[in-house]
Structures are given as C-alpha cells and as structure tokens.
Amino acid sequence: MDSLNAIILLLNYIFVPALAYGSQLAIGAIFVTLIYGILRFANFATGDMMSFGTMVAILFTWYFQSMGLTLGFLPTALLAIPFAILFMGLYMLVIDKFVFKYYRLNKSPPVQLAMVSIGVMFVTQAVVRIIIGPSDRRFFDGEKFLIKANEFKEMTGLNEGLAIKSTQVITIVVTIILVSTLFLFLNKTKTGKSMRAYSDNEDLALLSGIDPKKIVTITWMIAAILATIGGVLYGLDKSFKPFTYFNNMLPIFAAAIVGGIGNPFGAFLGGYVIAFSEIFLTYAYKKFFMYVLPESMEPDSLIQLLSTDYKFAVSFSILVIVLLYRPSGIFKGKIL
C-alpha cells in the first residue's frame, strides 16, 4: 500500500506536471529548431512570437465568449486556435518579407540574422503589450479537473490523491497529434522531404529544383502553427503574461540545443529532458521517503537536491554540460 502511495505521489507531483510542461517546451523547441535548420538563425523572438499568437487566440476567445459560443467542458481557446494561427502566419510572413528576406538573399552570416531577430523581438513585444497590456491574464474556461484529488482518494482508498487537470491532458493529447503529424509531414510528403533536403544542403537542394520561396513560406506557416499552439497550451495550463513568455525562450533554447539543434526529433525529446530534470532535481522527496522507508529511517530534512528557486538554473546547467561534452546535442544535430 505504501509503495502504491509513493508511486501516486510521484505521478501527481513529478510525472504529470513534467509531462505537460515538457510538451509545451517541446513544441517551442521544435519551432526554434525548424527556424534554425531551414532559415539558419537563432530566433531570439521565439518567446514573443509565441506570446503574439497566444494574444490573438485570447482576443478571439473573448469574442467567442461574448457571443456565447463555448465548447462545453473544453476551453473555448481551442476554437480560437485556427484563427490565431492564421493571424500569426500572416504576421510572420510580413516580418519575413520586410525584415528577414533581405538578409537571407544577401547571405548574411547567422549572427547578423540573430541580431535582426532581436529587433523583431522588441517590436513584437511592443505590439503585444500595446494591444493587450503587460498584466497576467487567465483565459481558461470549461471543466478544470479531469480527476480531482479527493475523488481519486475515495475511488482507490489511498492516502495520496492524484489530480489531473484537463489542461494537462489537452496539452499532452494536442502535442502527440501535432508532433506526429509534423513528423509524418517531414518524412513522408514531398514538400516535407524537400524541406529536409534544403536544411541539409541548400545548394544541392536548389540544384535539384526545390523552390526556396516555397520552402521558406511553408516553414513560417509551420512555425506559426507551432508557436500559436505551444503558446496557447502554456497559457491555458498556467496563465498568459508577455514577460513570462519572453523568459520561456530560455528553457526552450536549452531544450532545442540539448536535443541537437536542427533536429526536430531531438528538440521534441529535449523538451522532456529539460522539464523532467527541472522538476526531478527541485522536488522535495521527504514524503516519498516517508512512504518507502521504514518508520525508523524517516528523514528529517526535505531531501531536496536543489531549492525550487533554481528551477531555471537546472536546465541551463544541463545545457552547459551538454555543450561541453556533446556540443552537437544528445541526438546529433548540426555540429557547432
């Protein structure tokens, strides 16, 4: 019984939250890695692009809510996502046309493009803050919990409850659908293959008749899908605040590099590596050991490897270690 309690405890506090957080990071990391692999620059506007997409989704959610349109037990924001993606894609294409295109055609070094993306970051941040303001916004509606802790306790008769938020389930389900479609697209369709070819060797791809304009447009559209969905999922699960989204760029970068930048599958797993290690290392295991160990050996302290204040620092330290020992990432991305 005690061991079962211990397992539920870990599931409740580590596994489920980490899985949801990891999915959100993974989507962002695939976004970073796609831009890096195909357009060849580190996009410092990642977090702010995600917040732009989320902002549009929130505006549509409010509009639908004011019309009395809801999805019942599901959050209304899911209905707003397709419209938000449309706006996000439009925004990205406009930015590409007026900003990035010039440097791409001039074959500027990646560093210059990264600098330009900082300019885009500033502009996007301003646009988001001017339109929706800098404050914290919750836009979740519908059923909050799939399983409540109390219900679970009554159902199983265990001491520990397992609470599963519906946003966590939505996050995981949407991530699975999105990522598997993306990988199918990249690996099976002709366009996807040509994108991979372009990422691998630009000149060779151009020689074999791949249209770079088409590749770039499609990349931005996929990026818009990823940015919007990733942003909305994070906002549903936690809350929407432009500053948090900007900061999320950092663990997302860490996930992309840990997984091997330029490698979408690596980025996907990298998200989970970062999320799990953040939560594993900062969880206080006292209660867990109370269940597992006999009473005489119960620990006095919290048995916490690192205080939760260092949550971000954990992922960055992992990144530094990976950069030191395996600079191309765990799953062999581009060589740095």
Asked whether position 164 contacts other proteins by CB under 8 A, the answer is no
Q: If you write DSSP's letter for every residue of 42-103 in order, what string do you get? A: --TTHHHHHHHHHHHHHHHHHHHHHHT--BTTB-THHHHHHHHHHHHHHHHHHHIIIIIHHH
| Residue among 20, 12, 8 nearest 236 (CA) | 20
Residue 288 engages other proteins in binding (rule: CB under 8 A)? no
Pair 132, 122: CB distance under 8 Å: no
Site for other proteins in 213-252 (CB under 8 A): 246, 250
Residue type at 287 in one-letter notation:
K
- Least Cα distance to 240 among 128, 117, 90, 105 occurs for 128
Of the residues 5, 51, 54, 125, which one makes contact with other proteins according to CB under 8 A: 125
Instruction: Tally the C-alpha atoms within 13 A of residue 185's C-alpha that lie toward its C-beta.
Output: 12
| Shortest distance, position 331 Cβ to other proteins, whole Å | 16
> Exactly one of 99, 149, 218, 284 binds other proteins (CB under 8 A); which one?
99
For position 167 contacting other proteins by CB under 8 A, the verdict is no
- 126 in contact with other proteins (CB under 8 A): yes
- Residue 165 CA from chain centroid, whole number: 18
Q: Total number of residues binding other proteins (CB under 8 A)?
A: 45
Is residue 82 involved in binding other proteins (CB under 8 A)? no
Q: Which residues pair with 304 in a beta bridge?
A: 284
Q: Is 280 in the site for other proteins (CB under 8 A)?
A: no
Exactly one of 85, 257, 269, 279 binds other proteins (CB under 8 A); which one?
Answer: 257
| Contacting residues for 25 by C-beta, under 8 A, at least 6 apart | 248, 251, 252, 255, 270, 271, 272, 274, 275
Count of CB atoms situated within 10 Å of the CB of 303: 14
In the complex with other proteins, the residue whose CB is nearer, 175 or 263, is 263
Determine which residue in the list 130, 207, 295, 296 makes contact with other proteins, applying CB under 8 A.
130
The nearer residue to other proteins, 106 or 296, going by C-beta atoms, is 106
The residue among 28, 30, 25 whose CA lies nearest residue 264 is 30
| Least distance from other proteins to the Cβ atom of residue 311, Å | 9
Contact (Cβ atoms closer than 8 angstroms) between residue 263 and residue 33: yes
The answer to whether the CB of 312 falls within 8 A of the CB of 319 is no
Pairing relation of β-strands 145-147 and 164-165?
A: antiparallel
Q: How far apart are CA 126 and CA 48, in angstroms?
A: 10
Q: Are 298 and 289 in contact (CB under 8 A)?
A: yes
Q: Based on CB atoms, which residue is closest to other proteins, 20 or 261?
A: 261
Contact letters (x/-) for other proteins, 260-279, by CB under 8 A?
Answer: --------------------
Q: Which of 7, 59, 79, 115 binds other proteins (CB under 8 A)?
A: 115
Q: Which of 15, 310, 330, 331 binds other proteins (CB under 8 A)?
A: 310
Looking at the Cβ atoms of 185 and 243, the one nearer to other proteins is 243
Q: 110 CB contacts (<8 Å, ≥6 apart)?
A: 40, 41, 42
Binding mask of the shown chain, residues 32 to 51, with x at each position contacting other proteins by CB under 8 A = ---------xx-x-------
Question: Of the listed pieces 13-21, 150-158, 212-220, 318-326, which binds other proteins according to CB under 8 A?
Answer: 318-326
Q: Which stretch binds other proteins (CB under 8 A): 118-126, 170-178, 180-188, 262-270?
A: 118-126
Query: What's the closest the beta carbon of residue 68 comes to other proteins, in angstroms?
Result: 22
Binding site residues, other proteins, CB under 8 A = 41-42, 44, 99, 102, 109-112, 114-116, 118-127, 129-130, 133-134, 246, 250, 253-254, 257, 307, 309-310, 312-313, 316-317, 319-320, 323-325, 327, 336
